[in-house]
Amino acid sequence: MAPERTFEQSDSNAQPVRPAPETEPLPPRSGVANGGWGRLLRWALPWLIFLIVAIFLTRTVERALRDDALRTFTLARLNPWWLLAAAAMYWLGSVPQGMYWHHVMRAMGQRPTVGESLRAFYIGHLGKYVPGKFMVVLLRTRLVHSARTEQTPAAVAIFVETLTSLAVAATLSAAYVAVQFRHHRWLFGAAIVAAFGMTLIVVPRVFRALVRLLKIRRLNAEIDRQLLGISWPLLVTGWVTIAASWVVMGLSMWCAIMAIADCVPLPHATIARVVMVQRVLPLLTACAALSVVAGFVSLIPGGIGAREIVVSEMLPTLLGPPGAVLTAIAVRILWLLAEVLVSAIIYPMSPRGTRRSTTTSSPSPNPIDRQSP
């Protein structure tokens, strides 16, 4: 039997195969087509917001400086014990938020210890002062990463915790502003929009859909299964505990006011009202919560300026313009110092075995399936 002819052994009538003509490379697209406008907008938007915030804050400070009470301010009259109490209340108030992040990771199948989670949570706070806010995620995930905790679900849990905390803060603020600050339409509108938007995102089914849309599965093939741990009972627990944390943040602001009460001459009626914490705590809780929300959505590192504007707009009815401005400055400094001090204390306290497990072991994409809690 004659062998079958292959394509190379074709007869003489077959047309020779010619190489495909070389095509000229396509000209490069313009910067606009390559996303130049998008990059320009991402760069310019934070600066534009910062400029607007700076203008508003400058006007607020100028208005307060016209009051003779602010000119009599002296640091020598600050009460150090109330300052210490304000910092301690801020640290205590953030514990439920850190614990909620820990519980979300556990619900997603990760096994960090409480010490690992809280250490990463507090040190990660310092990342918000870096432009872009990505440093918070980077610090937390690297510090909590071990053979028992993967970075991708830890990062997803950060977004769950952060958005839940902001949603609770915006909801509490909107409820209070709707009753007491109806004339501040921009405060009420911002609180309502933030509360609705952030609450919608953390609805379990919506959040899972967003994660799938972002194609996180490319980084972790098990993420869909891990996301099933984010449930309504977990979300409700987070709302209750984080609502309590914002009340403690309000207490921190109250302690800061008590610390500066002797620095600015306030009317006796004002001092009597401030001392009765149960009467002013709802206002201070809403003020602390909404200021943090404003700082987050402003895209400005650390929310610098945005927080102070909210405080200086909500507290003049209680303290007057000078007292409101001083409270805004005091709270900013105290909370920052509390974050730095706690981070400096706990950073050397690396949980035993965490560093060894992350440097000497090479965990599989999902080591938890093979490792007991």
pLDDT tens digits, the chain, 373 residues: what are they? 444 444 444 444 545 555 544 444 444 444 444 456 666 666 665 556 556 555 655 655 555 555 555 556 666 678 889 999 999 999 999 999 999 999 999 999 999 999 999 999 999 988 888 776 788 999 999 999 999 999 999 999 999 999 999 999 999 988 888 888 777 777 777 788 888 888 899 999 999 999 988 888 888 889 999 999 999 999 999 999 999 999 999 999 999 999 887 776 666 666 777 888 888 999 999 999 999 998 888 777 777 778 888 888 888 888 887 788 888 888 988 998 899 999 999 998 876 544 444 443 334 344 333 333 3
Which is nearest to 77 in space by CA: 246, 326, 291, 333? 326
With b for 16 or more beta-carbon neighbours within 10 A and e for fewer, the 55-89 pattern comes to: ebbeebbeebeeeebbeeeeeeeebeebbebbbbb
pTM for the model stands at 0.77
- The CA–CA distances, whole Å, from 52 to 22, 230, 261, 266, 308 equal 55, 38, 30, 31, 13
DSSP class of 301: G
Residue 149, strand partner residues: 146
Domain residue extents for the chain: 53-65+75-346
Which is nearest to 309 in space by CA: 90, 48, 60, 45? 60
